[in-house]
Amino acid sequence: MQTHSPTYLALLNEAAAHAAGLADLELPPHEMAGFMAAARLADARLREAGAEGLASALAPVIAQVAAAGDDAAGEAALGDWLALLAAHRPGLPAPLVFYGYLPLRRAVARLAEALGTPEAARGLAEALVALGRALPDLPQAPLILPHLDHIASHGGPGRAEMLEGALPTAPALTVATSLSHVASVLEAGQQAPPAPREAGEAGLQTGAFQAANGLASPRWQRVLHAHIMKCAGTSLNSWLDMLAGDQRRWDGLMQNTLLRTRTVFLSAAVVHGHRNLIAHAPPGTLRLTVLREPMARLVSQISDWRRLDDADTRHGPADLHEMVSDTRRLPLKDFFVRHRRSPYRHYVDNTMTRILASSRLDKAFCETADPSLLLGAALACLEEDVEVVGLTEELDLTRNAIAEHLGLPPVAAFPRLNDSASDRVRAIETGQAAQELAAMTRFDAQLHARAVELFEARHRATAQAWTDEAFEARDAAATTALLRGDFDGEAMCFSVRGPLIGRGFHPRDGGGTPFRSLWSGPGPRLLLYMPVPPGMPIELLVWVRGYADPSLRGRLAVLVDGAPAPHLFEPLRGHAERLVIPCRPSRPFVRLELDTGETVPHPNDPRPRGIAFDTYGWRTA
């Protein structure tokens, strides 16, 4: 007796079920002979319904299935048959694909529930008859009739005939969309039942967001960024926070005490802050820091303080309050002369040296000691204590170096945050304060020079060579396998609350809450990687919240693994819609790209944005 692989049997059973639906058989066959018979009947029904194009496309694939000499050839042919059917199913007449087209079945189920007639969920004719019986007594009838007329306009029969049980010949997607709108009209007039799901979640049961939402890296368990002020760290941290779930990010309150400082690594997968925690990082932590040309960093620090109001530091130490206030009252030269011996001079006097030295020396000593005593420890920190030495002047390559270490895809340039606009100050005031600036950055200059040498030796070449192709060849399969989705009864769902493997999106809106979402931007193209079953016909899904401008919907282009892919939209309760992309991935991961053509700001949100969504995933076709 011939035995087949599990994949072959799964594909055969899936294909047989769809063939039986197309052939209007009560039970699907479970062997090849039965599938071939069902496929022949399906071919006849497709041609009778006017779908000669699909029937002609399926015929040679059926011949390949019959001629397959081994499981590999059979799997390929069955997969092609399923993929063709999945791509054409939304445009086929609704009665022909009712049992195989989930959006239509869901729409009918919602309509039956809204009408209070569970038996109407058995079929399309039953649902329409139940609606026809209830319609004369429904106050929402004027809102419902246009949707029924829309179905009728796509091939008939008329509204009255449909409500008496005549099956519409409109495409399945058209009927599904219209009946979903009818269900929404009916649901709007009812008191909502207690929801079994958390508000804002796309089909995920309460509590389904699992603890496996840490760093999606096959190489490191967590990331620590020793954030030196005014070195573009805020921009970098915004990206780092997206690499882990929104419940596994650093919380600043956890650094108030040494005990909390040590505890932070037990809960957070991404840690960053102005306190140097390198000495406390456990094994498995990727440690990094970013340095900046010292004079530019110091001028930026002063410019940043000048943006503060008096109230911002009023409740802090009096000496610090006076020091920050003086940045607004004094030019640079006078400020440095007055505060070069301040109790808080570590904020301006060779600050990078003091911060990095504190990974090997006492923090209080580093804040008060002569910086000449600290340079050796700071250099040792750069050379021995961190895996990535980044440069503000090479921020894009620094980010790529981090991505390469973590086994994550390269990331395009992201927007700079917390920019103090210090160029004007440098142009006007640094000439008179040149001597003071040099004194305040003497040891930082030596440290920065060594950082440049280390960056060139360790990171530049690998960062420049780190491309999508390099990521996909080396790490994509292992990295995406770390993502943990939730099955909602129909689809495998990945929430934007979890780690995100990709680029082209802003920080999460509503992070840490059930009402989270993600906007694409600042550029028009968003890229996401996710794990998928290779060789299986599936539909990639994106739960869409909305668009920055309605016109972007019509301009949306989709690419799968770099190639343009067809897409369609289906109605979805609680969302604007759901984007559906039929595909048949050849690898255990897929690269999905959404391009809106442009991104636009809003008066209440100046970020350039494109499409918003809260969940992505896939389902079997």
- Quick: pLDDT tens for 352-363: 999 999 999 998
330 with 379, same domain? yes
542 with 586, same domain? yes
Q: The tokens 């932590």 sit on which residue? A: 285
272 with 359, same domain? yes
Q: Which of 186-195, 243-252, 374-383 has the lowest mean pLDDT?
A: 186-195
Look at residue 151 and tell me whether its pLDDT is greater than 80: yes
Banded model confidence at residue 265, pLDDT cuts 50, 70, 90: confident
- What pLDDT does residue 423 have? 60
Instruction: Evaluate whether 474 touches 465 at the Cβ level (below 8 Å).
Output: no
Which helix (H) or strand (E) element contains residue 541? strand 538-547
Render pLDDT for 478-527 as a digit per residue (tens, 0 to 9). 999 999 899 988 899 999 999 999 999 999 987 666 678 999 999 999 99
Domain end among 470, 493, 526:
470
Look at residue 198 and tell me whether its pLDDT is greater than 50: no
453 with 320, same domain? yes
In a domain, 122, yes or no: yes
Structure tokens at 444: 């930082």
Alpha-carbon distance of 321 to 325, in angstroms, equals: 6
295 with 165, same domain? no
More confident residue, 50 or 259: 50
Domain end among 40, 57, 92:
92
Other residues' Cβ atoms within 10 Å of the Cβ of residue 551? 12
Banded model confidence at residue 257, pLDDT cuts 50, 70, 90: low
Banded model confidence at residue 25, pLDDT cuts 50, 70, 90: confident
Banded model confidence at residue 226, pLDDT cuts 50, 70, 90: very high
In a domain, 410, yes or no: yes
509 with 466, same domain? no
Q: With CA atoms as reference, report the closest residue to 264 among 278, 275, 274, 250.
A: 250
Overall average pLDDT of the 603-612 stretch: 93
Overall average pLDDT of the 523-546 stretch: 96
* Residue 581, domain CATH: 2.60.120
Render pLDDT for 102-120 as a digit per residue (tens, 0 to 9). 888 889 999 999 999 999 9
Structure tokens at 262: 């040590």
- What pLDDT does residue 197 have? 36
Overall average pLDDT of the 379-383 stretch: 96
Look at residue 610 and tell me whether its pLDDT is greater than 70: yes
Render pLDDT for 299-346 as a digit per residue (tens, 0 to 9). 998 888 888 877 777 777 888 888 888 888 888 888 888 877 888 888
Q: What are phi and psi of 576, to 5 degrees?
A: -65, -40
Distances (CA, A) of 570 to 130, 598, 599: 23, 23, 23
- What pLDDT does residue 421 have? 53
- What pLDDT does residue 205 have? 34
DSSP 85: H
Overall average pLDDT of the 267-296 stretch: 92
**Total number of domains in the chain:** 4
> E-assigned strands of 103-142?
none
Q: Residue-wise over 150-161: b if at least 16 C-beta within 10 A, else e?
A: bbbeeeeeebee
In a domain, 252, yes or no: yes
> E-assigned strands of 213-308?
222-226, 270-273, 285-291
More confident residue, 262 or 354: 354
Check whether the bond before 522 is cis (ω within 30° of 0): yes
Other residues' Cβ atoms within 10 Å of the Cβ of residue 461? 12
Cα angle 70, 72, 74 (rounded to 5 degrees) comes to 70
Q: Which of 35-49, 127-141, 236-250, 572-586 has the lowest mean pLDDT?
A: 236-250
- What pLDDT does residue 203 have? 38
Banded model confidence at residue 245, pLDDT cuts 50, 70, 90: confident
In a domain, 303, yes or no: yes
> E-assigned strands of 150-259?
222-226
84 with 109, same domain? no
Overall average pLDDT of the 45-71 stretch: 89
* Three-state secondary structure of 20-69: HHHHCCCCCCCCHHHHHHHHHHHHHHHHHCCCHHHHHHHHHHHHHHHHCC
- Over the chain, what is the mean pLDDT? 87
Which helix (H) or strand (E) element contains residue 430? none
Q: Which of 39-43, 197-201, 283-287, 458-462 has the lowest mean pLDDT?
A: 197-201
In a domain, 261, yes or no: yes
- What pLDDT does residue 86 have? 84
Other residues' Cβ atoms within 10 Å of the Cβ of residue 599? 23
In a domain, 214, yes or no: no
Which residues, in sequence order, are bridge partners of residue 519? 612
Which residues, 6 or more positions from 371, have their beta carbon under 8 angstroms from its beta carbon?
349, 350, 353, 354, 442, 443
In a domain, 571, yes or no: yes
* Three-state secondary structure of 544-585: EEEECCCHHHHHCEEEECCEECCCEEECCCCCCEEEEEEECC
490 with 429, same domain? no
Render pLDDT for 74-90 as a digit per residue (tens, 0 to 9). 888 988 888 888 888 88
pTM of the model: 0.79
308 with 349, same domain? yes
Look at residue 615 and tell me whether its pLDDT is greater than 90: yes
Domain end among 45, 64, 92:
92
Give the CA count within 13 Å in the CB-facing half-sphere of 620: 16
610 alpha carbon, distance to own chain's centre? 13
- What pLDDT does residue 199 have? 36
Instruction: Give just the sign of the alpha carbon dihedral 258, 264, 265, 271.
Output: negative
Structure tokens at 417: 């945050």
Task: Say whether 484 sits in a helix, a strand or coil.
Answer: coil
Domain coverage including residue 528: 485-620
* Residue 452, domain CATH: 3.40.50.300
More confident residue, 258 or 572: 572
335 with 385, same domain? yes
52 with 147, same domain? no
371 with 442, same domain? yes
- What pLDDT does residue 613 have? 97
* Three-state secondary structure of 497-527: CCCCCEECECCCECCCCCCCEEEECCCCEEE
Give the CA count within 13 Å in the CB-facing half-sphere of 230: 20
In a domain, 207, yes or no: no
